[in-house]
Amino acid sequence: MKYSITGIIKDVTEINVISDKFQKREVVLTVEDGKYPQHISLQLCQDKCSMLSKSNIGKEVTIHFNIQGREWVSPQGEAKYFNTLDAWKVEFTMLAVEPERNEPYLMEDLPF
């Protein structure tokens, strides 16, 4: 299942090397959802880890992701279920650009 979400980057974790064949990092987005902001954690794996870094904190992005679910059964036979939001594309959004000035310049506005 493919989804997307837009928000402000609150945190980006360091890359966690699980093995010589697998690495991941997490990104937390703050999303305004009515009265309370939501802090959504998404996972970046393998080559996707380089899409974001700590220097991106505070920037607005749209992240495209898949939802993955899995089951784990404890040694006692109790089933637990986990979900992962697995990011596969990051798009930086354009912030509002100052509108063009339509009125004529006054002498004190000129740069010289």
Q: Comparing C-alpha atoms, which of 52, 47, 46 is closest to residue 13?
A: 52
Q: Name the residue with tokens 């798009």.
A: 91
Does residue 97 have a pLDDT over 50? no
Q: Of residues 109 and 40, which shows the higher confidence score?
A: 40
DSSP state of 75: T
How confident is the model over 48-63, as a mean pLDDT? 91
Report the residue count for the chain. Answer: 112
What pLDDT, in 10s, does the model give residues 22-51?
999 999 999 998 889 999 999 999 989 988
Rounded Cα–Cα distance for residues 39 and 72 (Å): 25
Both structure tokens of 59: 């920037």
> pLDDT band for position 112 (50/70/90)?
low
> pLDDT band for position 95 (50/70/90)?
low
Q: Of residues 87 and 94, which shows the higher confidence score?
A: 87
Does residue 107 have a pLDDT over 60? no
What pLDDT, in 10s, does the model give residues 79-89?
999 999 999 99
Rounded Cα–Cα distance for residues 8 and 32 (Å): 9
**Amino acid present at 110:** L
109 burial via Cβ count (<10 Å: 0-12, 13-18, 19+): exposed
Q: Name the residue with tokens 């059964």.
A: 73
Using DSSP, state whether 109 is helix, strand or coil: helix
CATH number among 2.40.37.10, 3.90.1150.10, 2.40.50.140, 3.40.50.970, domain 2-109: 2.40.50.140
Provide the pLDDT for residue 98. 43
Ordered by start, the domain boundaries in the chain are 2-109
